[in-house]
């Protein structure tokens, strides 16, 4: 079945440095790739998403890149701040079909070190 | 405006009991999803509704799990004869458009503990 692999499971970076989280997906028909941030005890919230017709998208300190040929996509956070500490989930889905499920990765726990 | 709400927020059930978890999506949202999130894991898809139609229930782990959204608004996830492995946070999410390829707005979840 469809699968999304996410790495690393835990990531610690110094405040101000960059963080990169990588995901691969198995369903070549996937065409929508969101990233969610989940703070401890809170609900997941969308931080950025990308569709298959673009290779890169940026929103302030956050950027996502997509390589459809290799079936992988990455989240880049620059100039990290303490409030970036959270669990980040990548996900993949395909639209245009009745079974529009979304498959999440297992998450990356990001620690921003002071 | 009001976001997605879920009730109860916490539920403790003895093994073998039936439970019902409620989700109130954002008003007017077409799509509604249920997920199961085990500790330290990502949300695992359970089922998807487009209005009142359950279009995908492939993620339901067994026939003890049943979901409904009879009027295309509020949804209920029912788990019969609960087992310890059912302990998890159950998340509901809604989206204004049909399908899974748009931002989903998550509820706070219901933490189910089966003893």
A95 contacts B45? CB cut-off 8 A: no
Tokens, residue A74 = 């990455």
Q: What is the pLDDT of residue A97?
A: 56
Q: Which of B92, B101, B109, B110 to mutate to test the interface with A (most CBs of A within 10 A)?
A: B101
Ordered DSSP codes for B17-84: --EEEEEEPPTT--EEEEEEE-TTS--EEEEEEETTEEEE-TT--STTEEEE-TTSS-EEEEESS--G
Q: How far is residue B41's CA from residue B106's CA, in Å, rounded to a whole number?
A: 16
- Tens of pLDDT along A47-67? 999 998 889 999 999 999 999
Residue B45, pLDDT > 80, answer: yes
Q: How far is residue A33's CA from residue A103's CA, in Å, rounded to a whole number?
A: 10
Q: What is the pLDDT of residue B21?
A: 98
Q: What is the pLDDT of residue A2?
A: 81
A49 contacts B109? CB cut-off 8 A: no
Do A102 and A89 form a contact (C-beta atoms < 8 A)?
A: no
A99 contacts B45? CB cut-off 8 A: no
Please tell me which residue, A41 or A92, carries the higher pLDDT value. Answer: A92
Nearest to B42 among A46, A49, A106 (CB): A106
Nearest to A106 among B41, B59, B103 (CB): B41
B55 contacts A44? CB cut-off 8 A: no
- Other C-beta atoms within 10 Å of A87: how many? 21
Chain-centroid distance of CA B114 in Å reads 17
What three-state secondary structure class fits A110?
A: strand
Q: Cα-atom radius of gyration of chain A, to the nearest Å?
A: 14
B contacts of A32 (beta carbons < 8 Å): 100-102
- Tens of pLDDT along B73-108? 999 999 999 999 999 999 999 999 887 778 899 999
Q: What is the pLDDT of residue B61?
A: 94
């Amino acid at each position: 079945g469809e699968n999304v692999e996410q790495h690393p499971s835990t990531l610690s970076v110094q405040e101000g440095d960059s963080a990169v989280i990588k995901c691969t997906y198995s369903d070549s028909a996937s065409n929508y790739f969101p990233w969610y941030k989940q703070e401890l005890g809170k609900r997941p919230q969308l931080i950025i998403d990308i569709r298959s017709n673009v290779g890169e998208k940026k929103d302030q300190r956050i950027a996502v890149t997509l390589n459809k040929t290799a079936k992988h996509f990455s989240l880049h956070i620059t100039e990290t701040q303490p409030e970036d500490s959270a669990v980040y989930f990548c996900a993949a889905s395909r639209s245009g079909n009745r079974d529009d499920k979304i498959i999440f990765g297992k998450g990356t726990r990001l620690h921003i070190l002071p | 405006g009001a976001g997605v709400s879920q009730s109860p927020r916490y539920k403790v059930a003895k093994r073998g009991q039936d439970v019902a978890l409620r989700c109130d999506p954002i008003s007017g949202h077409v799509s509604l999803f249920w997920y199961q999130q085990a500790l330290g894991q990502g949300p695992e898809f359970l089922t998807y509704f487009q209005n009142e139609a359950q279009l995908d229930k492939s993620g339901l782990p067994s026939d003890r799990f049943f979901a409904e959204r009879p009027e295309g608004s509020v949804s209920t996830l029912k788990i019969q004869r609960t087992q310890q492995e059912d302990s998890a946070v159950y998340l509901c999410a809604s989206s204004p458009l049909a399908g899974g390829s748009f931002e989903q707005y998550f509820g706070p979840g219901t933490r189910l503990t089966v003893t």
